[in-house]
Structure 1
Amino acid sequence: MASQWETTKRIETLVDGIFAIAMTLLVLNLSIPQLTGSVQDANLQVVLMHLTPKLFTYAMSFMLLAIFWRVNHGQFYYIKRINTPLLWITVTWLLFVALVPFSTSLTGEYGHLQSAQIFFDLNLLAIGLLAALIWYYATEKKFTDKKLSLEDIHKIRKINMLLPTASLLAIGLTFISPSWSPLAYASIVITERFFK
């Protein structure tokens, strides 16, 4: 019988907890606007319009985190065992997941600047590469369900390369215009459909 460190239940619980916290922290980066002078509806509408980039970045980051969680959940449906190296790869992956609220806040505030956008893109690149490494390591060590076909293993490896590819495209777009960079992540949703 496997010990609790060889099964995946504990790491799956940790993943769920980190994602719940990271997704909650995203909204805490949005603050209620402080109005000066006379408080009228027209003033509030202007301030809310200025919040649009932050709201867009929040929504995009929330949806991306939801996708990352779903992908990880799907992978660990097939991953049946875990060892110390796989545990630490996953914990390192979670380190970058937990950084998303900060990189989102930075982009929401300074998304028009290339450095802020590249920081966000590098954060997502690290998440994508480590997610791909989790799957690669688990399949190479035969920690996955024995019923999983080689075709499915390779299909999931291809899906895992969507985020790193989108992140590199996003970094490239910052050299044209930092505000175009988030458009690259829409390609994940579009391209993922072809792998189903």
Structure 2
Amino acid sequence: MSKNFDSINLWMTTSRIETLVDGIFAIAMTLLVLSIGVPDISTSLSESAFQQQLWVLWPKLMCYALSFWILAGFWRNNHQQFYFIKRSDPTLITINIFWLLCIALMPFSTEIIAEYGGTYFTANIIFQLNLFFAGFIYILNWQYAVRKGLVDENIDEKTLKLMNVSNLSLPALSLLALGLSYYVLAWSSLVYLAHPIFKKIIEKRYERTLNS
């Protein structure tokens, strides 16, 4: 089958997107560990004083683990999304580039909230908005792929609608965490631990609505 420039520019495979996504996630998830840092501890400290200095790191360790958990969830959901997305085009690639921009920003926003999240509301805003825009662009990616017919032709309407609803879970949690940040600062980010449960609840309720 002959291929011309127009057809190549219009229809593209998703393999290069998935390869880039895996690479960016691998780098971002690895760089997260730098948000912990090693404390500058004097060698003249006693063993107990040394342990106390290390204990001070626990908020940063918590932020690291939380961000790693969130990125792992994004990667898992992206894998699920591209199971159904079979073709690509220049616009879909551009949407994914902007999404990966938000993903690559995670080590920075994680370090900000780890260092200042317990003191400054603005630090929490940076972290929560980073996740909100990542979640929003993720929804945009799916909506565009469906609208342009880039998904598997055999996907049924129920699966399409279920994906639309489940994609709302992370942006919704981001807005909830942003609101809670005003009252409990960095502790508000713990709501992301409930993401799998929250997503499952949304899917179950929607399935009941479809079956009723």
Q: TM-score range by the shorter chain?
A: over 0.9
The within-5 A match list for 1:159-170 is 159-170=166-177
Q: Deviation of residue 48 (structure 1)?
A: 1.8
Give identity over the alignment, percent: 46
Q: Which residue of 2 aligns with 1:76?
A: 82
Aligned residue in 1 for 2:61: 55
The answer to whether residue 152 in structure 2 is matched with residue 145 in structure 1 is yes
Q: Distance between the aligned counterparts of 1:100 and 1:154, measured in 2?
A: 29
How far residue 43 of structure 1 moved from its aligned partner, in angstroms, is 1.7
Q: Distance in 2 between matches of 1:15 and 1:191?
A: 25
Matched, 1:110 2:116: yes
Q: How many equivalent residue pairs?
A: 196
What TM-score do the two structures reach when normalised by structure 2? Answer: 0.88
CA offsets, 1:39-96, max 9 Å, x none?
3321221112110110000000001000001101110111011111111001000000
2:29 alignment partner, one of 23, 32, 36:
23
Check the 8 A contact 1:18/1:94 in 2, yes or no. Answer: yes
Where in structure 1 are there 5+ consecutive unaligned residues? none
Provide the rounded CA distance (Å) in 2 between the counterparts of 1:183 and 1:55: 13
Counterpart in the other structure of 1:156: 163
**Moved runs in structure 1, 4+ residues, more than 6 A?**
none
C-alpha RMSD of matched pairs (Å)? 1.6
Structure exhibiting the larger radius of gyration computed from Cα positions: 2
Give unpaired runs (5+ residues) of structure 2. Answer: 2-6, 205-212
For residues 34 and 190 of structure 2, what CA distance do their matches in structure 1 show?
24
CA distance in 2, matches of 1:115, 1:143: 39
**So what's the TM-score if we normalise by structure 1?**
0.94
- Give the 3-state SS of the residue equivalent to 2:183 in structure 1: coil
